[in-house]
Structure 1
Amino acid sequence: MDDLQPLDRVARIQADWRRERPDIDIGPQGVIGRLHRLAGLLTGELCLLYSRYGLSEGEFDVLCALRRAGDPFERAPGELAVHTMVTTGAMTKRIDRLEKAGLVTRRRPQDDQRGRIVALTGPGRELIDRAFTDHMRNEHHLLSLLTPTEAVALETLLTNWLTRMEHPRPANEG
């Protein structure tokens, strides 16, 4: 890892801040800065794969959420928004593009004529099955830069941190 330090942008930024503001503890920047930089690099790698299938990151997420629903591979738009963590407005735009491409359809449910159901089409299911297979191959490749022990430790740390961020305890629970 020490041999990577000369290439590490975060370490250079920290050195500059230590020189300019020695009165401030910039330690957290080492973790947050590297996570931020890594997230950007990973997103770039993932989006490159999605584009090979003519999909944006958001469209890939929608198709995955429909595929994960199981047969008949459909969900209501609001449910899709929850499963992909986007607003319903953003979801509508994604569904519009996917419908135009013939990858999903929209229909009214029999029991509620106001609502809509979004479903994968046959071509949509074939596309997401191929894309997801390649996506997982890509994620395995990206994670192969770590040892299996490092990957398990990192997953544990990130799971704990994310859980605490998403479900903070009140201050008096300590």
Structure 2
Amino acid sequence: METTREPTPGGDSIDRHIARWRREVPDLDPVVEGAVTRMQMLVQYLQGRKEAGLAQRRLKMWEYEILWRLRSAGEPYRMTPTQLAEGLGTHPATLTNRLDRLAKSGYVTREPAPEDRRSLLVVLTGKGRDAWASTIGEQMATERALLAPLDEAEREQLVVLLRKIASAAESDGPPLMPSPG
């Protein structure tokens, strides 16, 4: 089966983007440009939907990311500040300021580590778990709606293909870490 290299008539906005740029960049590969630009557009779409949902709950993205990281640690939902900073790719001084704000809001507490009372652990509170939980259902619904045009077999095929691309990208460096949620 031969794959067409030209945009389909009446296609999406990315097809129109490719048509414009092919005039300027004649050797532009429309398949590669189409795939990469669509991935970027979909990430931006999901990010925008997440930010809108968080704003409705008066949460900032950085707050959600810290809550998500603590929640992903599993029970009892605690981590050292160093683990959090590394996992979030955040400078420790920035994280300290953010943890102060989250503690003041009641989303986290800082407690001495049982194994070493000189060390602190950041612990997700019940309020923090509730704040995280209030967002995740909406995010899952958005993601399901995004993939709704595909049947189950197509969704599974998409996962296989994206895994192949992600694995290749990860082999060039550190593992890719998606934005939380």
Q: TM-score range by the shorter chain?
A: 0.7 to 0.9
TM-score by length of 2: 0.76
Q: Which residue of 2 aligns with 1:172?
A: none
Q: Residue 144 of structure 2 aligns to which amino acid in structure 1?
A: H
> Which among 27, 37, 43 is matched to residue 41 of structure 2?
37
After alignment, is 138-147 or 44-53 more displaced? 138-147
Q: Residue 160 of structure 1 aligns to which amino acid in structure 2?
A: K
Q: Which residue of 1 aligns with 2:137?
A: 133
Give the 5 Å matches for 1:32-111.
32-83=36-87, 85-89=88-92, 90-111=94-115
Q: Deviations over 1:90-138 (max 9, x none)?
A: 5334323322211001123244355321001121122222322333233
Q: Is the 8 A contact 2:46 2:143 kept in 1?
A: no
Q: How far apart are the structure 2 equivalents of 1:2 and 1:88?
A: 46
Q: Is the 8 A contact 2:66 2:84 kept in 1?
A: yes
Q: Residue 116 of structure 2 aligns to which amino acid in structure 1?
A: D
Aligned CA distance change for structure 1 residues 4 and 79 (closer, same or farther; 3 Å): farther
Question: 2:67 aligns to what SS in structure 1?
Answer: helix
Structure 1 residue 16 corresponds to structure 2 residue 41: no
Q: Residue 103 of structure 2 aligns to which amino acid in structure 1?
A: E
> Which among 127, 149, 161 is matched to residue 165 of structure 2?
161
Task: Extract structure 1 runs of 4+ deviating beyond 3 A.
Answer: 1-4, 88-94, 110-115
TM-score by length of 1: 0.79
Q: CA deviation at 1:166?
A: 1.2
Q: Is the 8 A contact 1:17 1:26 kept in 2?
A: no
Q: Which residue of 2 aligns with 1:115?
A: 119
After alignment, is 127-136 or 39-48 more displaced? 127-136
The alignment covers a number of residue pairs equal to 165
> Which among 152, 157, 173 is matched to residue 156 of structure 2?
152
Aligned CA distance change for structure 1 residues 156 and 101 (closer, same or farther; 3 Å): same
Percentage of matched positions with identical amino acids: 32
Aligned CA distance change for structure 1 residues 121 and 4 (closer, same or farther; 3 Å): farther
Q: CA deviation at 1:68?
A: 2.6
